[in-house]
Amino acid sequence: MAKNTKPAMGRGLDALITMEDLHTGGSSSINEVELSKIEANPDQPRSVFDQEALEELAASIKSIGLVQPITLRETAPDHYQIISGERRFRASKIAGLTSVPAYIRKASDDNLMVMALIENIQREDLNAVEIALAYQSLIEMHKLTQEQLSEQIGKKRATIANFLRILKLPAEIQIGLKDRKIDMGHAKALLSLDDASTQLMVYEQILEYGFSVRKTEEIVKTLNEEATDEQKPADAPAKPKQKTPDEFNLLKKHLSSYLGAKVALSCNEKGAGKITISFANDKELERIVQIFDKLQNN
């Protein structure tokens, strides 16, 4: 695919935001702009604003003023749109300000989202899903490959690919990631599972028992190993154990995920058999016992 050559795309952050692009009044590089003349950017990558954090910032602004100016572009005479600083803009409203200090930059519609994305990523203000959606929008908007986007924003292609993959997770898991109930490490582990139902099952266990990323990776590895064993051809070298019916394999898979531990299940042709639950140490055993105690009390 031919590389897109739209202005300011592919030349780095310095080409997108330069001091030469400032449009100011008088000799100052900062203008005082009325809040009533400012509107939010509808393509702002960040969609979640913590109300408590906004209130805290508003209290600080009320006490000492807005220390860091926001960045705007002029969309019409004396009318502006936010490039970066919407959180500061919202907090200033709460604080009762009527105007805020602002840089006014020249930016096209094509570059506005790129500038907002880079600013937010550098400030680590976006959650993983917001970043993923912003990457996807930029790729679609500018018809870029992942490699080209990597060059545009200074992120490794593998990093971009990992973020885009989380958009394939079930909506419930994406919401959990967006709300920071799980982190990117959990999401990457869940992506290693083939089907959505198993991903959701493990996700629910992460929330209920507070599994770490490492523990989640162990659970996923166990489930994938069991799935691999089940998919081996009939003429593959048999392990020294009795063949387990499909319905018992499914039960074993669910038990492994529910308990967060490796489960072995064997049965004979009549359906009689035994379940073996593995644990690494006393703490692991206590956790498994607590799960059974909880079931008994329900």
Indicate left, alpha or beta for 78 from its phi (over 0: left) and psi (-120 to 50: alpha).
left
Residue 20's pLDDT is 35
DSSP conformation class of 250: H
Strands (E), 255-298: 263-267, 273-277
Residue 228's pLDDT is 66
Q: Tens digit of pLDDT for each residue in 102-115?
A: 988 876 655 666 66
Angle among Cα 47, 48, 51 to the nearest 5 degrees reads 140
Bridge partners of 100, per DSSP, are: 33
Which residue type does 290 have? Q
Could you say which residues of the chain have pLDDT below 70?
1-29, 43-47, 107-125, 227-248, 267-272, 296-298
Residue 268's pLDDT is 65
Distance CA 112, CA 117 (A): 9
Residue 39's pLDDT is 92
How is the chain split into domains, by residue range?
13-120, 169-232+247-297
Q: Tens digit of pLDDT for each residue in 218-249?
A: 888 888 887 665 555 555 554 444 444 565 67
Q: Catalogue the active-site residues.
A: 86
Evaluate if pTM is beyond 0.85.
no
Residue 251's pLDDT is 74
Residue given tokens 């492994």 in the structure block: 256
Class of domain 13-120: alpha beta
